[in-house]
Amino acid sequence: MDTEYLIRKMEKYADEKGVPIMEKDGINFLSEFVRLNNIKNILEIGTAIGYSAINMALVGEDVYVTSIERDKDRYIEAVKNVKNIGLDRRITLVLADAFDFNTDEKFDLIFIDAAKSQYLKFFNKFSKNLKEKGYIVTDNIKFHGLAFSDKTKLSRNLKQLIVKLEKYVDFLRNNKEFKTRFFDIGDGVAISRRRLNENDKNATENK
């Protein structure tokens, strides 16, 4: 089936069923990032219906994605989409909670796009699976503009989630091992990379 048609169909499905796939400018940015940085193998936390995994894999014939999803219905939908688009050889889908998933493989890119309250835990668990010069990309860092804004009117649960997300941003900002750049794209994207030289190690950034 036609790739463009299938992608549009996924966007429509996500819209109708309220599946939080990446926004258009976010996915374009991510695909371009994969292309420009010659990224070949990717670990994604949070497949949903396979939209971002498929878009990244479409960047090149030699791009491979392993993606984890804990919701069975979404996983099944993703398996179907990946197969229809003919990418089942290069996209490996895993039905599991990311905290139960373990691998020794090292990746060029780890894309964190699952439960926002667990970002810090995902980062700490999977940074060992990053190649020395690899990148960790985190989506939804702004959380619909709610991060770092007035929280008095929010529900308790939402407030707790936003506070955790803000803590994660602070963790990235003050991190001695990783250097992070924040991009005002889509719902906010952070790109982290290991500090490799001594200068970098001494300076934490407050951007």
Residues near Mg ion (CB under 5 A) are 113, 139-140
Strand spans (E) along 25-147: 41-45, 64-69, 91-95, 107-112, 130-139
Is residue 74 within the footprint of ligand SAH (CB under 6 A)?
Answer: yes
Query: Which part of the chain contacts ligand SAH (CB under 6 A), choosing from 56-64, 70-78, 159-167, 179-187?
Result: 70-78
Q: Measured from the CB of residue 138, what is the shortest distance to ligand SAH in angstroms?
A: 11
> Which of 33, 63, 66, 69 forms a contact with ligand SAH (CB under 6 A)?
69
List, in order, residues 6 or more apart from 22 with CB less than 8 Å away: 30, 51, 52, 55, 113, 139, 186
Residue 7 belongs to what H/E stretch? Answer: helix 3-17
Judged by CB under 6 A, the residue of 5, 20, 32, 148 near ligand SAH is 20
- CA angle (186, 146, 121) in 5-degree steps: 80
21 contact choice in ligand SAH, Mg ion, none (CB below 5 to 8 Å, kind-dependent) = ligand SAH
Binding residue (CB under 6 A) for ligand SAH from 68, 109, 112, 136? 68
Verify binding: residue 115, ligand SAH, rule CB under 6 A.
yes
Instruction: Please enumerate in sequence order all residues whose Cβ is within 8 A of that of 114, keeping only pairs 6 or more positions apart, or say none.
Output: 45, 46, 68, 70, 98, 122
**What is the C-alpha separation between 172 and 168, in angstroms, rounded?**
6
Binding segment for ligand SAH among 85-93, 96-104, 184-192, 198-206 (CB under 6 A)? 96-104
> Residue 57's CB: how many other CB atoms inside 10 A?
23
Which spans of this chain sit near ligand SAH (rule: CB under 6 A)?
A: 20-22, 46, 48, 51-52, 68-71, 74, 97-99, 113-115, 118
